[in-house]
Structure 1
Amino acid sequence: MATSTSPADNASTPEASRQAQGQYRNHVPVKREGFRKTLRIIWNMIFHKPRDTRPSTPVPVQTLTQAALIAAPNHSVYRLGHSTVLLKLRDKFWITDPVFAERASPVQWAGPKRFHQPPISLEDLPPIEAVILSHDHYDHLDYQAVLKLADKTQYFLTPLGVGDTLIKWGIDASKIRQLDWWQSTEVGGLQFVATPSQHFSGRGLFDSNSTLWASWVMIDGDTRIFFSGDSGYFDGFKRIGEQYGPFDLTLMETGAYNVEWPHVHMQPEQTLQAHIDLKGRWLLPIHNGTFDLSMHTWYEPFDRILALAWERSVSITTPQMGEAFNVMYPQRGRPWWLGLDGVSDPMVPQNA
């Protein structure tokens, strides 16, 4: 197992991950659904989805070019889709959970299909200093994307075990740094800390929780960015905020939630509270707008988190896919989903 890590500051206080019988565990036990409930959830996802879980009109995308990215200022942040975010820091590029596949699925002839094309192709991306991976689910770890990024990427930062998967795929072990919760590593002048999340892992029937899941703290001098990966709401957000906050920007899971799986994905109200726990300054909701992974309408996560942020006076930004957001000069962006498929402003009464 390739590693290059050092303990995070005060790492003796927080707990590292733990294994039992070869499986990683959350700090607080998460209820595992029984076979009958799992079968019912799958049945409903296939046969009883409501309308508008996918947009019927094109999702707006701002096309990116390599030349424009290279000319962009530092601290620029771009959503490429779902939880894939490209960041420019210290004149280098960093990317989270790069998924460019047409479907978030083990096969490309079935499964959740993209709403939109990525703003830039894998081939046109500039050289990547590090790929930051949160866990091994198909909507976060894309086999073909990893292989295509291998030659232009200096490092792959992963939770424990995920790096071993990359090595099996043929990625050079010297490029991989695997971290336990609360461990840190330095790449290109930035510090990265693998922090806990409350989730699970697995890419098949027989590898449940055999690899770790994580959120990530990114520290660039005085600038701090948090990437949530996937997580249910738990007290870990407050601990991360106490240890590493305040954060200039939080990239927070806001989508593909369901009352049937409350422990591993957050409702928008919990996303907002997690951002507050982290002592976040600006919230950028991710994990939405690209794949149909739950039962809610495709635009509901945007509507709900925007309304909640306004109610709590939380600074929130909702850039289009491919639209630049600068951490040093933040702006709210436009609610670009309004008007698509007849979506109306949730803050305006329908009879207004």
Structure 2
Amino acid sequence: MPSKQFGGKLTDQWLGRYQSSPNWKDGAFKNLVDTQAAVNWRQLPGIICKQIKGHKQGYPASPLPVKPFDHAQFSQGSDTAKFVWYGHSVVLMRLHGKNILIDPMLGPDASPIAPTKTRRFSANSLDIIDDLPEIDLLLITHDHYDHLDLASIGKLKSKVKQYFVALGVKRHLISWGVEEQIIEEFDWWDSRNFEEINITFTPTRHFSGRGLSSMAKCLWGGWAFKTPRENIWFSGDGGYANHFIEIGQRLGPFDLAFMECGQYSVDWPQIHMFPEESVKAAIDARVKVAMPVHWAGFNLSYHHAWYEPAADFVESAQGHKLTCITPRIGEIFDVNSHTEHWWLKHS
């Protein structure tokens, strides 16, 4: 019997839905531009050796601390949105009076089906869920293991009222016991209103899959949130391309953007952004304040030290006069928060 980790079975019924998408071609979802999503098989032995060896500073010297959740501070009225980042790509937002959670992978292992573990930099991370408030809306960008986690979804179920997810994710959630009627799927540029928040699924240059048979059978993207007061963007995973300009033209400018920055490598340059590219993408999309995410959670690349994505992002942002923030894990912050090089204490 297949592991529950693989998610929902790809039936003809699901395939029929996906085939109606303009982004489905030749039996899979496709990027807007030609993209090498998988490594060349000739490179594979060398890449495996590099991955086993790893980076000498691939992990922090000790587990990264997570600041305890402060319910009173988070729920207190404010003129601006509030946020909490839990490492990697997990973001909790208090936006327009609603609690919104993005890509809540809070499990201890980002490779649960692999023979070796990819352990999280912070200990006991699933316990974070116990202290979280009720979640009005949970969003998923795509189905990779470092963004969609079986254990986290199971533990969150009783707290979540509604799910907005990338096209293709619904089958996984249903197979894990989430009620179908509270899940809505999005294709690129789909927009819906949620409690006076306009939410749009934006394109990225990436891929998806939880096993060989499900490669690119789920769409990938980011999320834009517009309220009467603020405009927020979560870029989602993906390499650099011209779609960032279109996102900025159609939905920008953004008061704050969570920019993918981490797990990049010269061996897969088109599916994750290097810090300089992440900064350029933010500028393309007309971002006023940027925050690097997709780091400080897992070691998924042998190319860089665990802290390097943030350090290089800050340096590049300063060079381009782009305002950026780097809050601590678990800290409640807003668009006016300061930048602190907190990772230096854990290197």
TM-score of the superposed pair, with normalisation by structure 1: 0.88
Range moving further from structure 2, 66-75 or 81-90: 66-75
Aligned to 1:345: none
Within the alignment, does 1:82 sit opposite 2:88 as a pair? yes
4+ residue stretches of structure 1 with deviation over 3 A?
Answer: 65-68, 71-74, 107-110, 117-120
Question: What are the residue-to-residue correspondences of 1:318-337 with 2, within 5 Å?
Answer: 318-327=326-335, 330-337=336-343
Contact 1:65 1:120 in 2 (8 A): no
Given candidates 136, 142, 158, the residue that maps to 2:165 is 158
Range moving further from structure 2, 76-85 or 34-43: 34-43
Contact 2:89 2:147 in 1 (8 A): yes
Aligned to 1:35: 41
Aligned to 2:138: 131
Contact 1:167 1:173 in 2 (8 A): yes
RMSD (Å), alpha carbons: 1.9
SS at match of 1:216: strand
Contact 1:199 1:264 in 2 (8 A): yes
Q: How far did residue 59 of structure 1 move?
A: 2.3
Within the alignment, does 1:312 sit opposite 2:320 as a pair? yes
Structure 1 pair 83/124, CA: closer, same or farther in 2 (3 Å)? same
Aligned to 1:54: 59
SS at match of 2:313: helix
Range moving further from structure 2, 133-142 or 305-314: 305-314
Aligned residues: 325
Structure 1 pair 106/339, CA: closer, same or farther in 2 (3 Å)? closer
SS at match of 1:211: coil
Question: What are the residue-to-residue correspondences of 1:200-349 with 2, within 5 Å?
Answer: 200-295=207-302, 296-327=304-335, 330-341=336-347
User: d(CA) in 1 for partners of 2:39 and 2:56?
Assistant: 26
Q: How far did residue 163 of structure 1 move?
A: 1.3
Contact 2:108 2:126 in 1 (8 A): no
User: d(CA) in 1 for partners of 2:41 and 2:114?
Assistant: 26
Q: How far did residue 174 of structure 1 move?
A: 0.9
Contact 1:119 1:321 in 2 (8 A): no
Given residue 204 of structure 1, which amino acid in structure 2 is its aligned partner?
Answer: G
Aligned to 1:22: 27
Structure with bigger helix share is 2
Q: How far did residue 181 of structure 1 move?
A: 0.3
Aligned to 1:191: 198
User: d(CA) in 2 for partners of 1:338 and 1:27?
Assistant: 38
Structure 1 pair 123/203, CA: closer, same or farther in 2 (3 Å)? same
Contact 2:126 2:152 in 1 (8 A): no
User: d(CA) in 2 for partners of 1:271 and 1:112?
Assistant: 24
Consecutive unaligned residues in structure 1, runs of 5 or more = 3-15, 342-352
SS at match of 1:63: coil
Structure 1 pair 119/310, CA: closer, same or farther in 2 (3 Å)? farther
SS at match of 2:211: coil
Q: How far did residue 90 of structure 1 move?
A: 2.2
User: d(CA) in 2 for partners of 1:33 and 1:320?
Assistant: 33
Aligned to 1:10: none
Question: What are the residue-to-residue correspondences of 1:110-129 with 2, within 5 Å?
Answer: 110-117=116-123, 118=125, 121-129=128-136
Structure 1 pair 150/119, CA: closer, same or farther in 2 (3 Å)? closer
Q: How far did residue 269 of structure 1 move?
A: 0.7
Given candidates 145, 149, 165, the residue that maps to 2:152 is 145
Q: How far did residue 70 of structure 1 move?
A: 2.7
Aligned to 2:5: none
Structure 1 pair 316/109, CA: closer, same or farther in 2 (3 Å)? same
Q: How far did residue 58 of structure 1 move?
A: 3.7
User: d(CA) in 2 for partners of 1:131 and 1:71?
Assistant: 21
> Percent identity at matched positions?
35
Structure 1 pair 294/17, CA: closer, same or farther in 2 (3 Å)? farther
User: d(CA) in 2 for partners of 1:272 and 1:175?
Assistant: 35
- 1:75-101 deviations in whole A, cap 9, x for unaligned? 111101110000001222101100110
Aligned to 2:68: 63
Contact 1:250 1:284 in 2 (8 A): yes
